[in-house]
Chain A
Amino acid sequence: MSIGFIVRLLAPLLWLLIALPHAQAHTHAQPTPLPEPTGRVILTLSGDIAHPNVGGEAHFDRTMLKALPSRIIETHTPWHSDKGRFEGPLVRALLEAAGADGDCLRIRALDDFEAQAPRSDFYDHDVILAMSRDGEPLGIRDYGPLFVVYPFDAHPELLTEAVRFRSVWHVERIIVP
C-alpha cells in the first residue's frame, strides 16, 4: 500500500519534471499536418486541437489510427471472462498527432456516455484505444469500435472505480476542452 501511495503522491511531480519538456518538444516537432481521412471516420477529436484536418476537428479513419504508434496489451478486464490481447494506438500518440493540448480529456461513447480522464494517465501508462481483441476487430457488441484499455494486469493498482469509469467503450469522440 505504501509504495502505491508514494507513487501516487510523486506522480504529479514526475509529470512536471519529465512530461512537460517532453510535451513542449512535441509541439515544436510536429511538422506534418494531419491528412484527411479516406475511409469511414470512426473517431473525432474536437476542441483545443493544433492540427485539425476537417473543419477545426481531427477526424480519423481506421487506416489513420492503424498508422499511429501502437501497443499490444495482454490483460484481464472487469468486463471479460478471459484474458484478452488488445491492440490499438497509444492514446498519447493520438493526442500528439492531433496536437491536442489540455490537462483533461472528455471521452464520449456512441451511447452518449462520457467520462473525463486526466491527460497524465496516458503519459504515466501505455493506455491504448483498442481496435482489436485477440486479432479480431472490435464490433460494437464487443465494446468497439474503440475501447480505452488500461494495462490492468501490469498495474493492478489501476483497478479502481475511477479508472474503470475512464475505461470507456464504444469510443466515438474525444473532446479536448
Chain B
Amino acid sequence: MLHYPLRLKLGAIAALLFFAAALVVVGLVAWRQHALSESVGGNAVWHAYKLDRDTVELRSFLARPDPAAKRPLLALRIRLELLYSRLHLLKEGDITRLLARIDIAEELVEQVESHLDAMDAQLRRLESLDAGARSQLSSRLEILGGVTERLIIAINGHLAEATTRDRRALQTLYGVLLLLILAMSLAASLVVVFLFRESRDNAAARRELETLSRELEVTAQRAESSSRSKSEFLATVSHEIRTPLNGVIGMSDLLQDQPLPVKARHFADTIHDSAQRLLELINDILDFSKIEAQRLEFEERPFDLAELVDGAVALFAPRAQARGLRLACDIDPRLPVRVVGDAGRLRQVLLNLLSNAIKFTEQGEVRLGVRALSDGTVRFEVVDTGIGIAPESQRQLFEPFQQGDPSTARRFGGTGLGLVISQRLVEAQGGRLAFESEPGRGSRFCFALTLPEATASEVAADASAAAPEGGLAGARLLVVEDDPVNQQVARAMLERLGCRVSVAEAADVALSWAAREHFDLIFMDVQLPGMDGLEATRRLRARGGWSAELPVVAMTAGGPSGDQARCLAAGMNGYLTKPLFQQALVALLHRHLPRGEPPPSADSPLEAATLSSLEESLGRQGLTALITLYRHQAAEHLAGLEQALSGGVARQVEYLAHRLKGESSSLGAVRVAGLASQLERLGAQERLDEVALALGALHRCLALTLTALEAWTSGE
C-alpha cells in the first residue's frame, strides 16, 4: 500500500468515505420508512371517520326509527356506547399523541366529549324515545356531526402537511444518497483510471528498460567486438613488426659474434641496442593492450627470490656504473629461499622500477630493498636520489601515456606505459604500487606481494618439469617456419649451439619429415600457411609412439604469453616468443632436450661446464687432488655443522654453511652449494630446527655428489 501513488490512495479513501456516507444515508432512509410504517396517521383518519359516520348513522337512526325494533332505546344506548368507545380511542390510544400535535384537535375532542356526556346524561333520564327527545338528540347530533367533520378535516390537513414534509425530507435524503453514489462512482472511476494509468506507466517503464537494456547489450557487443578487433589489429601489427625485428636482432646478435673492425662493431652494437629498445616498446604496448583487455595470465611456480632480485639488479649494474651511480641491493635474510609466484611478472615490475630510477637519477644511489613483513607478505622497495616527481604530476603518474611532464618525454624518451603496466601487474597479483616523491630529493616506489614459501613437493614437481640438463651438441632439431628471415635466424642460432637443424617451411612437410626421421625437438611456428602449428602438433600427437613424446615448442610473434594456453592445449611442451634470444633458447633446449646418453634418474648434482673448465686449467690429476681435498673439507664442515647444531650455535652454522657453499660452487657441486646456501640462510635466521632437516638432505646430497665426482674423474 505504501508504494502506491498518493492520488491512488486518496481516490480509494474518498471512494470508501463516500460509500460509508451512502450507507449512513440508506440507514436514515430505512429508519424514516420504518417510522412512517409505524405512524398512526392512517388509523387516526380511520377512527375520526368512524366517529363521524357513527354520529351520522345515529342521527339517521333517530330520524327513521325502525318499526321492527323492539327496544329502540336499548339500541340507541348501545350505539351511543359505541360512539363513546370511539371517543376513548381518540383520548387514550396511540392516536392521542398525533392529536396532541394538531392545535385544534384537542379542543374538538373535548367538544365531542361534552356533547356525548350531555347525550349520555339525557339518555339515562329518558324513559321512552318520544318525538321530542328524538328531535332534541338529533339537533345535538347535528352539532356533534359538525365537530367530527372538522376533526376529520383537521387530521387530514395535518397529515397532508406531515406527508409533504416527510416526502420532502425523504427526497432530500434520496438526493444526498444520489449525490454520494455519484461521488462514490466518480472516486471509484478515478481509482480505476489511476490504476490503469499506473499499469500503463509501469508497462511503458518496463518497455523502456527492456529497450535500454537491449541497446546497452548491442552497445556492449559493439564495444567488445571493437576491442577485440583492436586487440587483433595489435596482434597482427606486432606480428608484422616482430618478424622483421626478429631478423634484425638475430642477425645483429650473430654479427656481434664475428670478428669485426671497431667501427663496424660499434654499428652492430647500436643496431642491436636499437632493435632491443624497439622490441621493449612493442612489448610494452602489447602488455598494456592485454592488461586493458584483461587477458593477463599469471604463473604459480616456485622460484628463487634472491636469485631473481640479484639478477634484476645485476642487469642494471653496467648502466648504473656508466652513470656513476651506486646500485645497492638489500635482501631480508628472514625471507624463504624459494617462493611461489610469477617470477617473470615480478621481474618485469622490478626491472621497470629500477630502469626508471636509474633513468631519472643523475647522481647518488639507487637501492632495491626486499623485506619480509609481519603479515607474511614480501615488500619490494626501489629508492632513488633522482629528480623526483612534481606534486602536480603525481596524480597523472599512473595514467597511460603520461610522463612527469612533456619535457620529460623529450629528455628521457619512453612510452610512459612502464609505470601503468607495473601498477596493473602488481594489482593483478594482489598488491598495490605506492610511491612518495619530493622534487630534487628522489622517489620511493614500493609494493607488497603475497609470495608463499614453496613446499618441498612443489620444488620437486618443478625440478622434474625442468628436465635434466644435457649436452646440446648433436641434438637433431626441426624448425617449422615459413618466413625466410626467421628461418635463417633460427638456423644460425641453433647451429651455433652445435645442434643439427632441419628447416621445413610448411606443416605438412614437417609432418612427413617427422614420420621418416627421428628428431629430438621441433620448433613450431604457430601461424603457418595452410595447416597451422597447432593442428600439426595435434596430428603429430595422434600418431602415438615416439611422436607423442617428442617435445614440440611453439614459436609465435603474438607477444609474451599470448596463446600459451592454446599451444599447451594442442599438446605442445613449451612456448617461445619471437624474436629469439640466445639465452632463452638455451634455457629452453636444456629444459626439453633429453641427455644424449641414458639419463640419470635425478638431475645431476654437478655442473659439467665448471668441472670441464677446471679440468682444462688444472689437468686431470689436479682436479682429482682438488676433489679429494673437497671430500675431506666437506666431511669436516658437515661434522662441524652437526656440532654447531647440537650446541645451538646458529652463527657457527651460518659460517660453516657459507664456507661449504663457496667450496662446492667452485667445484661445480651446484646442488650441495644450493643446500649450503639454504643452510646459511637458516643459520642467519636462527631457524635451527629446520637446519636439522636440511642437514639430513645435505648428507644425502653430498654422498651423491661425491659419487658423481668419482664417476666424472674416472669416466671422462
Contact = CB atoms under 8 A, between A and B. Distances in A.
Answer yes or no: do A and B interact: yes
A141 B51 CA distance: 13
A77 B84 CA distance: 18
Interface in B28-57: 40, 43, 50, 54
Given A141-B88, A142-B88, A143-B88, A110 B82 contact: yes
A5 interface: no
A140 B92 contact: no
A170 B85 contact: yes
A4 interface: no
A130 to B, nearest CB: 14
A142 B92 CA distance: 11
B81 A140 contact: yes
Contacts of A140: 78, 81-82, 84-85
Given A78-B40, A110-B78, A141 B94 contact: no
Nearest to B54: A111
Contact of A170 (B40, B43, B82, B93): B82
Given A140-B85, A143-B85, A169-B85, A79 B92 contact: yes
Contacts of A170: 82, 85
Interface in A117-161: 139-143
B377 to A, nearest CB: 86
Contacts of A78: 40, 43, 93-94
A4 to B, nearest CB: 14
Nearest to B116: A141
A81 B92 contact: yes
| B40, B78, B85, B88: most-surrounded residue (chain A CB, <10 A) | B85
A142 B94 contact: no
B84 A141 contact: yes
A57 to B, nearest CB: 20
Interface string B73-84: 000001001101
- Give the dominant DSSP class at B's interface: helix
B93 A79 contact: yes
A80 B78 contact: no
Interface in B75-133: 78, 81-82, 84-85, 87-89, 92-94, 96
Contacts of A80: 92-93
Contacts of B93: 77-81
| A81, A110, A111, A143: most-surrounded residue (chain B CB, <10 A) | A111
Nearest to B50: A111
Nearest to A81: B92
Q: Chain A contact residues (Cβ within 8 angstroms of B): what range? A: 10 to 19
B321 to A, nearest CB: 115
B226 to A, nearest CB: 80
Contacts of A143: 85, 88
B71 to A, nearest CB: 13
A169 B85 CA distance: 9
Contacts of A79: 88-89, 92-94
A81 B96 contact: yes
A143 B82 CA distance: 8
A18 B88 CA distance: 40
A168 to B, nearest CB: 12
Nearest to A143: B85
B92 A111 contact: no
Contacts of B78: 110, 140
A111 B82 contact: yes
Contacts of A139: 81
A141 B89 contact: no
Nearest to A111: B82
Contacts of B96: 81
A170 B50 CA distance: 14
Nearest to B97: A81
A79 B43 CA distance: 11
B46 to A, nearest CB: 11
Contacts of B43: 78
Contacts of B40: 78
A81 B88 CA distance: 10
Contacts of B50: 111
B69 to A, nearest CB: 15
B148 to A, nearest CB: 15
B403 to A, nearest CB: 97
A143 B85 CA distance: 6
A9 B221 CA distance: 80
A117 to B, nearest CB: 19
Contacts of B88: 79, 141-143
Nearest to A147: B85
A141 B88 CA distance: 7
A169 B82 CA distance: 10
Contacts of A81: 92-93, 96
Contacts of B54: 111
B589 to A, nearest CB: 108
Contacts of A142: 85, 88
B92 A141 contact: no
B36 to A, nearest CB: 12
| A78, A141, A169: most-surrounded residue (chain B CB, <10 A) | A141
Interface string A32-68: 0000000000000000000000000000000000000
Contacts of B92: 79-81
A142 B93 CA distance: 12
| B84, B88, B96: most-surrounded residue (chain A CB, <10 A) | B88
A141 B78 CA distance: 9
Nearest to A79: B93
Nearest to B47: A79
A77 B92 CA distance: 10
Nearest to A139: B81
A78 B92 CA distance: 9
Contacts of B81: 139-141
Contacts of B84: 140-141
Contacts of B82: 110-111, 140-141, 170
B90 to A, nearest CB: 10
Nearest to A82: B92
Contacts of A110: 78, 82
Contacts of B89: 79
A169 B43 CA distance: 15
A5 to B, nearest CB: 16
A131 to B, nearest CB: 16
A88 to B, nearest CB: 17
Nearest to A113: B50
Interface in B454-476: none
Nearest to B120: A141
A160 to B, nearest CB: 9
| B50, B78, B81, B84: most-surrounded residue (chain A CB, <10 A) | B81
Contacts of B87: 141
A77 B89 CA distance: 11
B405 to A, nearest CB: 98
A140 B76 CA distance: 13
A111 B94 CA distance: 22
A127 B164 CA distance: 39
16 contacts: A77-B93, A78-B94, A79-B92, A79-B93, A80-B93, A110-B82, A111-B54, A140-B82, A140-B85, A141-B81, A141-B87, A143-B85, A143-B88, A169-B85, A170-B82, A170-B85
Given A81-B93, A140-B78, A141-B81, 4 more contacts: A79-B92, A110-B78, A141-B84, A143-B88
The 6 A-B pairs at the shortest CB distance, nearest first, are namely A140-B81, A141-B84, A79-B93, A81-B92, A141-B85, A78-B94
